[in-house]
Amino acid sequence: MPDKEGSIFKQLSNGWVPYSILVGPDGKVILWESEFQESGFSAAVEKIYEEPAQTEAPEPVLQAAPRRGPAYGANILILGGGAGGLVAAYQLRKRLSGRDRIVVVDREPNHLFQSSLLWRAVGMRQTEQIQRPLSDLTGTGVEFVNEPVVQIDPQRKQVRTSARELDYDFLIVALGAELAPQEVLGFEEMAFNLYDLDGTAKINAALNEFSGGEVAVLVTDMPFKCPAAPYEAALLVDSFLRKKGLRDRSEVHLFTPEHQPMPIAGPKLGEAITNVLGKRGIQYHPLFTFEWISPGDQTIIPSTGDPHKVDLLLAIPPHRAPEVIQYSGLIGSSGWMHVDSHTLKTEYDGVYAIGDVNNIRLANGKNLPMAGVFAHYEAKVAAEQIVAEINGEPSNASFDGKGFCWLELGGGKAGFAAGNFYAEPEPAVRLYPPMRSWHWGKVAFEKWWLRHWF
């Protein structure tokens, strides 16, 4: 069916591809996803050709290992020390007795307040200001294991790290999304990683040496966490160049596969952000797809049209589910972990998945954005569910899809968006007018966050 105006495309996608629909040999739809990873899609294809189970000799159902008695307490593992993992650990420790063991496992030694990475890129923060050692959790009665997770066995209720095996009664997977810059040809040679601590430090150094030319912000793939970040980056770079007196001899471009800014939040918010970009003279390139990045001549090679030369490239790399999720068989057809949209429970007994690692489909068929605020609220719900089960009580804890975010505009101003993403038929999100008070509100939240949990 023709779609000359792109209305169907915009309705069914976040700007990257329309729904991919997999139909089995019997004509039935097996899965349909607007954003997916190849690994999840491939797993669904493989299931079509699986040999049917032998009915005369069925496989025995594996029973979950019995929990230890009340005298020993519960053993709770939290994989990941990001926003969701931190909140979950805090809530559980506050609500449970000392005999219940809570362990956070993370390959990184520090908790990073990721929202401040953009400020790090333009020199408004230093590295030590936006992270805290996760070992400080031990002072709150939470154990910390600084090792990478290499295997999760939900049948045996066991997690293996690089150095040990850990049993659990309850498991919260909060590993987030892994960045995969290596999947983009030329990325690591030419682009600065906007979502990486080291990358943002390098961006700041490059901006300080910049004397004019073309700066580009590139979104390489969908989905990606913090939907406002590329727009904030472009606006903060614009503000940085104006402050240095270089804006009149520089161009700022933003390339994205989305059809509008933050498409999940609706056309009004997208139009408002597009207008802000236009007023700042930032050249916006929606529905942009590319073949590769060419470091030799500093160009982005688009899928159609002429190569685009840039002097400084700030890029968001592809996001993927952590390898341990894929290898442990926890991955869904979307390429992420599938959960109940209200309880955050997975199909495995005692296992929850919160934050960027999970996949929640909204009423309009699109997916809940990857954002720290959702990880925060999901963590509270998962923790309350676990506390209720340990105490043998019913739980009314339910994630309601509400969230908010700031939109940094530079020059000490910010916008603020908030709403209900579970609203039907579309998310109900409102963008409040830019003000200095919103910027200072984000600063205050950053300070509170880094002091409250440690």
Strand order in the sheet with 351-353: 143-145, 101-105, 75-79, 170-173, 351-353
Quote the mean pLDDT of the chain.
89
The yes-or-no verdict on residue 13 having pLDDT over 60 is no
Three-class SS state of 390: helix
Residue 342 has pLDDT above 90, yes or no: yes
Closest to 316 measured CA to CA, from 336, 334, 290: 290
Q: Compute the average pLDDT of residues 376-390.
A: 98
Identify the pLDDT of residue 54. Answer: 43
Q: How far is CA 413 from CA 114, 244, 328, 366, in A?
A: 19, 18, 45, 30
pLDDT of residue 60: 35
CA pair distance 94, 72, nearest whole angstrom: 18
Tally helices (H) and strands (E) across the chain: 11, 27
Would you state the pLDDT for residue 123? 97
> CA dist 157 to 55, 362, 384, 403, Å?
27, 30, 20, 32
More confident residue, 201 or 36: 201
pLDDT tens-digit readout, 138-163: 999 999 999 999 999 999 999 999 99
pLDDT of residue 25: 67
- Distance CA(106)–CA(135), nearest Å, equals 11
Closest CA to 250 of 276, 297, 211: 211
Is the pLDDT reported for residue 248 higher than 80?
yes
The pLDDT-based confidence of 2 (bands split at 50, 70, 90) is low
Q: Report pLDDT digits (tens) over 85-112.
A: 999 999 999 999 999 999 999 999 999 9
| Helix orientation angle between 229-244 and 267-279, rounded to the nearest 10 degrees | 20
CA atoms within 13 A on the CB side of 229: 28
* Res. 207: pLDDT tops 60: yes
Pick the CATH number of 179-319 from 3.50.50.60, 3.40.720.10, 3.30.110.40, 3.30.413.10: 3.50.50.60
Cα(264)–Cα(223) distance, integer angstroms:
11
Higher-pLDDT residue of 286 and 52 is 286
Is the pLDDT reported for residue 178 higher than 50?
Answer: yes
**Mean pLDDT computed over 123-146:** 96
Of 366 and 22, more confident = 366
- Partners of 213 in the beta sheet? 250
Phi, psi of 316 (to 5 degrees): -100, 115
Span(s) in the chain for CATH 3.50.50.60: 75-177+322-396, 179-319
CATH number of 75-177+322-396, picked from 1.10.1520.10, 3.50.50.60, 3.40.50.300, 3.40.190.10: 3.50.50.60
**372-390 vs 83-95: helix crossing angle, rounded to 10:** 30
Q: Are the C-beta atoms of residues 383 and 170 closer than 8 Å to each other?
A: no
Look at residue 222 and tell me whether its pLDDT is greater than 60: yes
